Structure formats: C-alpha cells, structure tokens
Amino acid sequence: MTPKRSPSDFALFGGAPAFVEKLHVGRPNVGDRAAFLRRVEDILDRRWFTNSGPYVQEFERRIAAEAGVEYCVAMCNATVALEIAARALGFSGEVILPSFTFVATACALMWQEITPVFCDVDPVRHTIDPEKIESLITPRTTGIIGVHVWGQPCNIEAIEEIARRRGLRVLFDAAHALACTHRGRRIGGFGDAEVFSFHATKFLNSFEGGAVVTNDAALAERMRLMRNFGFAGQDNVIHLGTNGKMCEVSAAMGLTCLESMEDIIATNRRNHFAYSEGLASVPGLRLYAFDPAEESNFQYVIVEVDAEQAGLSRDELVRLLHAENVLARRYFYPGCHRMAPFQSYFPHAHLLLPETEKLSTRVMSLPTGTAVGVEEVAIVCDIIRAASRCSPEISTRIRAAS
C-alpha cells in the first residue's frame, strides 16, 4: 500500500483503495478441506443425511466435552436453539435480556410472543449489567438471558444470584463464547442452559448450526423432542415440536473445524495482538481486551471509538475503511430496542439504556480469522493511524460531503 499522508490519498477522496479484494469481518474458517470432503463422501455412501445421524451424534459428544457439560443438543442454527431452549425452560410473559446483542436473541423471544425487556449493559464488559436487572422484574418475568458478547462471560454469579432469589430461570446466549472460560471453567455449564452458534461467520462453523448445552437431563430430553416435531419413536408424537435438526453435512463441517480449533484460535490471538500493537498509539481508540487469566477464542476484534478524542466518529472511520475495501462492521448497531419489530412496542426504551445507546455508536468490528494475515492487519492499522493523523481534515471533508 502506498502510504497515506494526506486526505486525498484515502480512497474515500479519490485515492487508490488499500485492498483490491474486500476484507470481510466473518470470513469463514475452512479447516482441513480433505478431511471435510472425506466426511461428505461417507455421508453420501451411507445415505443418511439428517435426523440425528452418526456425525451429528459425534459432534454433540465433542461439543459437550469441549464445554464440560453432560448434554449437547445440536440444532440447525442458534436462533432456533434459543427459541427451543426458551420454550423448554418455560419462558413466557417477559424475559430480561440486553439490547446490545445480535437481533436473534430478541427475535427468539418475540417470535414466541414473549416480551423482551431490554436491560442496559456494563460499559466496560459490554454484557448485561446485573445492577439494572432487578428493577425490570415484574410479576410477568419468567427468565433472564445473558449474552456473552464477544466471548466475554457475563457477570454470571450476580445474574444467577438474582435469578435464584427471584425464582427465575437463566439462559445464556453463548453464540460467541465456545472455548472461552469463566473463572477457569469453560462456558457451557452456567445457568440452566447455554446456546452456541456455529454459523459460517463463527470461528467454529458448521455452515449453519447451533446447539444448546446443559447439565439438566430432563431439559435436554425435552429439547431433543422439540427439535424433532416431538417424536419419541416412529409415529409417536408426545410433545409439541418443530424442526430444529442439524444435518450431517453441517456436523461434518463442525467436526472438521473442531480438529483445527486450536490453530484457528492461535490465528485469532495473533491477529488480536497485532491489532493491539498497531492501534496502541491511536488517540481515542480502545481495543476490547480479554482477561489474560481466562481462555478466549478472540474471534471478534472490537474497537471502541471516542469521537472527541479520536477526531473522527466510529461512522466516519467505518466509511473511510469501507472505501479502502476493509468492511468493518458496526456490531451491534443500533441496538435491538431501535429496530422496527421492537421499537414500536417500546418507543421509550432508549431512556433506560444510556450505555447501550453510547456503545452502539462507538463500537466497530475489524476483520480477523484465518482469512486475514498479519500483513493485512498491519495495513488496516496503517490506514487507521493515518486517518487519525489527518482527522480534522478528513472529518471536515466527510461532513461537507454529507
């Protein structure tokens, strides 16, 4: 990349983009292609494509072991897994959850006509703030969903203590948190159940996929019934159910990625520290840091932009990066409470969510994963450092143009 010294060097103002090919957030990790293709051959030979096939069963055993739990119920995706878990836990009425999450967490409730009650987040951890939970509990409240955003465990003990005292059930949306630990224990066995996502964009993917993990045998059994139309053997439907099954090809991909999991995490960690070094001197930017005493999968590189100190807002920086073909994402903007399905029900929710409001205008996610090398990270950091040096002129130009 030709060094960017003045605003005109940036692609947004007519310069050459730093990357010819787009650099994505969420590019899938592939793992050992030959191992995956061997498994696909097996599936074709066996002619057993779905309905709890041998690869799904193996995947469930492997995920339960990774998470240190008794039971894993694999599903077609984490959204359906959240829906089934919520129903199996007996959620109804109102459930408290953060608004600062991917919209799936809130949709999974509303889809079942359960009212999502949005709670604010801790501005440092980005996870639900337990101190704000209690005032949201009403006679209609049946549960709490904590989201381990970016793989950062929630304040689990505080949430569990409130739930115990107030007779509520706890589900953790652990879509980001496979292979992360809390106080040395793997995420998976906390609350009544936890939900993982294996979507293509997750560090461990099964194309589409999800799972509920739990140590509660009866709950696991109920979810197994629910994910397969309520069948307990041929022609014998004993429960209301849906189709939430994971298929064999997905499990084959999940198993293949599991074999490369440590390498994928090592790449993510390497990239994370490369960003950390590359952005350390940029005023107004804070790279979201993980507790070095815990394990993390480092799958999200999250940067918080303080517009005043940085001289550029998060949105201005994202526009600048997009023009350079660095497709930074505004996870999670604008917060579920400002999205159409929820805003009309709760038009004043933002008044109770000051930290969520602030975070959703400050946070961006940068590309990482096995599709991103340290050379690319260095270039992204160069662009951001250069933007920071020319921030007054850049900001003036962007504002003038819009």
The helix (H) or strand (E) run that includes residue 213 is: strand 210-214
Nearer to ligand T4K, 200 or 339 (CB): 200
Contacts of 386 (CB under 8 A, 6+ apart): 3, 4, 5, 9, 10
Report which of 243, 284, 291 is spatially closest to residue 127, judged by C-alpha positions: 291
Residue 214 main-chain phi, psi, to 5 deg: -165, 160
CB of 397 to ligand T4K, least distance (A): 26
CB of 260 to ligand T4K, least distance (A): 17
- Amino acid making up residue 394: I
Which residue is closest to ligand T4K by CB? 26
CB of 108 to ligand T4K, least distance (A): 8
Nearer to ligand T4K, 28 or 143 (CB): 28
Q: How far is Cα 329 from Cα 327, in angstroms, rounded to an integer?
A: 6
CB of 205 to ligand T4K, least distance (A): 8
Query: How many degrees, rounded to 5, is the angle at CA 303 between CA 133 and CA 30?
Result: 100
CB of 310 to ligand T4K, least distance (A): 23
Q: Which residue ranges make up the site for ligand T4K (CB under 6 A)?
A: 24-28, 77-79, 101-102, 104-105, 147, 173, 175-176, 197, 199-201, 210, 327, 331
- Amino acid making up residue 253: M
Nearer to ligand T4K, 265 or 282 (CB): 265
Nearer to ligand T4K, 43 or 154 (CB): 154
Report which of 318, 334, 340, 371 is spatially closest to residue 101, judged by C-alpha positions: 334
Whether 89 contacts 192, CB under 8 Å: yes
Orientation of helix 261-279 relative to helix 248-259, angle to 10°:
60
Tell me the two tokens of residue 259: 């074999």
Whether 327 contacts 23, CB under 8 Å: yes
Residue 306 main-chain phi, psi, to 5 deg: -95, 105
Nearer to ligand T4K, 53 or 98 (CB): 98
CB of 66 to ligand T4K, least distance (A): 17
Tell me the two tokens of residue 293: 């005493």
Contacts of 352 (CB under 8 A, 6+ apart): 118, 120, 132
Q: How far is Cα 338 from Cα 111, in angstroms, rounded to an integer?
A: 17
Nearer to ligand T4K, 211 or 390 (CB): 211
Report which of 168, 240, 209, 187 is spatially closest to residue 60, judged by C-alpha positions: 209
Q: How far is Cα 19 from Cα 325, in angstroms, rounded to an integer?
A: 6
User: Could you give the 3-state DSSP secondary structure of residue 351?
Assistant: helix
CB of 216 to ligand T4K, least distance (A): 21
Nearer to ligand T4K, 26 or 130 (CB): 26
Nearer to ligand T4K, 255 or 282 (CB): 255
CB of 147 to ligand T4K, least distance (A): 5
Tell me the two tokens of residue 165: 């005292």
CB of 266 to ligand T4K, least distance (A): 21
CB of 367 to ligand T4K, least distance (A): 9
Tell me the two tokens of residue 118: 């949005």
